[in-house]
């Protein structure tokens, strides 16, 4: 599949927007859980997306050449990661008592973004959450 840089940017923009919607919904859910005493805190952490692409491919070259202010794409191949990492700079609307460091927010955001990236770029991938 030969995809243009403009199409790649469009896919990444749509994925970021979907992630922001999901992340903001998760912020509201966490705030409600904390306000009603169902939880005292949520684990701090984050997440990112790993996409499985060959670093020699045209897609990899186009992705790594991008210079966008809302996403970072880096070679992440290691024994536990495949291909490239995709990290968005989401704009979340925080609500007290949510700090914005809760792992659930980022996991929800990236899980919403992943299907858009997979179908739009025709790649395989997964969300990699972590707790700090």
pTM: 0.93
Residue with the two structure tokens 């927010």? 105
Residue with the two structure tokens 């499985």? 52
Q: Is the pLDDT of residue 1 over 80?
A: no
Hey, where are the domains in the chain?
5-131
Give the mean pLDDT of 107-112: 98
Question: Mean pLDDT in the chain?
Answer: 94
Q: Is the pLDDT of residue 125 over 70?
A: yes
What's the confidence (pLDDT) of residue 41? 86
What are 31-84's pLDDT values in tens digits? 999 999 999 988 999 999 999 998 899 999 999 999 999 999 999 877 776 789
- In angstroms, the Cα distances linking 28 to 95, 97, 104, 117 are 7, 10, 11, 25
Alpha carbon 6 to chain centroid distance? Answer: 20
Q: Is the pLDDT of residue 126 over 80?
A: yes
């Amino acid at each position: 599949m030969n995809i243009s840089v403009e199409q790649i940017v469009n896919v990444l923009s749509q994925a970021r927007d979907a992630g922001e919607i999901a992340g903001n919904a998760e912020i509201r859910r966490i705030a409600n859980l904390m306000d009603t005493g169902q939880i005292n805190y949520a684990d701090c952490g984050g997440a990112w997306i790993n996409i499985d692409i060959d670093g020699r491919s045209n897609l990899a070259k186009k992705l790594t050449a991008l210079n966008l202010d809302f996403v970072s794409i880096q070679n992440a191949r290691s024994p536990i990661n495949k291909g490239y990492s995709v990290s968005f700079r989401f704009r979340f609307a925080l609500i007290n008592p949510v700090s914005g460091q809760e792992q659930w927010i980022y996991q929800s955001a990236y899980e919403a973004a992943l299907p858009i990236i997979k179908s739009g770029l025709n790649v395989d991938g997964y969300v990699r959450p972590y707790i700090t």
